[in-house]
Structure 1
Amino acid sequence: MAQKSKIRSLLRSAAGPAVGTLVIAFFGGYALVGPNGVLAYGDYSRALTERQAVLAETKARHDALTRKVALLDPKKANPDMVDELVRKELGVAHPDEIIIPLD
C-alpha cells in the first residue's frame, strides 16, 4: 500500500509539469507551423505581391475609365468620342463608310 501511495504521489507531482509542458509544446508548435505561424510568412509575402500586381492593374483600368468618363462630360463632351460611342452602341453608320473592326 505504501508503494501505491508513493506512485500516486509521484504521478500527482509530475502531472502539473507534464500538462504545462504539453500546453507549451502545443502553442509553440502552432506558432511555428500554424496558419499564422512563422512558416506561413512566405505565403503571406507571395500573396501580398500578387495582390499588389492586381491592385496596380485595377488602378490602371480605373484611370483609363476615369479619362473616358471625363471625355463624356455633358458640359464639354468630346464630339469624336460621342460620335464613336453612338455609332458603336446603336450600330449606326453612313452608307459610304467602311467599318473595320479592331479587336
Structure 2
Amino acid sequence: MIIRTRWRSAAAQLTLWLIAAGSVLYFSQQAYVGAHGLVASREFEAEIATLSAKLAELKAVREGFEHRIDLLSSDRLDPDLLDEQARADLGLLHPNDRVIQVR
C-alpha cells in the first residue's frame, strides 16, 4: 500500500513538472513566432518602413499638386500654366506648337 502511494505521488509530481515544462515551452515559442512575437514585430517594423517611404512619396506628389493649385489662385495666376491647361482641356494648338506623337 505504501508503495502505491509513493508511485502515485511520484507520478503526480512528474505530471505537474511535465505540464509546467510544456506550458513554458509553449509560451516561449508563442513569444518568439506568435502573432505578437518577435518575428511578427520585425515584420511590422519592415512594413512600417515601407509604408513610411510610400507616405513620403505621396506627400511629395501632394505638395506638387498644392503648388500647381496655388499658382492658379487669383492673386498669383500664371498665364503660361493657364494657357497650357486651357489648350489641354480644349484640344487646341497654337500655330507655333510642335506635336510629337508617342505610341
Q: Tell me the TM-score normalized by structure 1.
A: 0.72
Query: Which ranges of structure 1 fall in alignment gaps of 5 or more residues?
Result: none
Q: For residues 75 and 101 of structure 1, do their structure 2 counterparts lie closer, same or farther at Cα, with a shift above 3 Å needed?
A: farther
Q: 2:99 aligns to what?
A: 100
Greater shift in the superposed pair: 49-58 or 4-13: 4-13
Structure 2: where are the runs of 5+ without partners? none
Measured on the aligned residues, the alpha-carbon RMSD in Å equals: 2.7
Q: Which residue of 2 aligns with 1:56?
A: 56
Residues 13-41 of structure 1: CA distance to partner in whole angstroms, max 9, x if unpaired? 33333222211211111112224322345
CA gap of 1:97–1:32, structure 2 versus 1, over 3 A, is same
> 1:22 corresponds to which residue?
22
Q: Does 1:85 align with 2:82?
A: no
What letter corresponds to residue 48 of structure 2 in structure 1?
L
SS in 1 for 2:31: helix
Q: Percent identity?
A: 25
SS in 2 for 1:97: coil
Q: Which whole-Å deviations, capped at 9, do the CAs of 1:17-66 have from their partners, x for residues lacking one?
A: 32222112111111122243223454344333322221221111111111
Distance 1:49 1:73, change over 3 A: same
Rounded Cα–Cα distance in structure 1 between residues aligned with 2:26 and 2:5: 31
Who is 1:32 aligned against? 32
TM-score by length of 2: 0.72
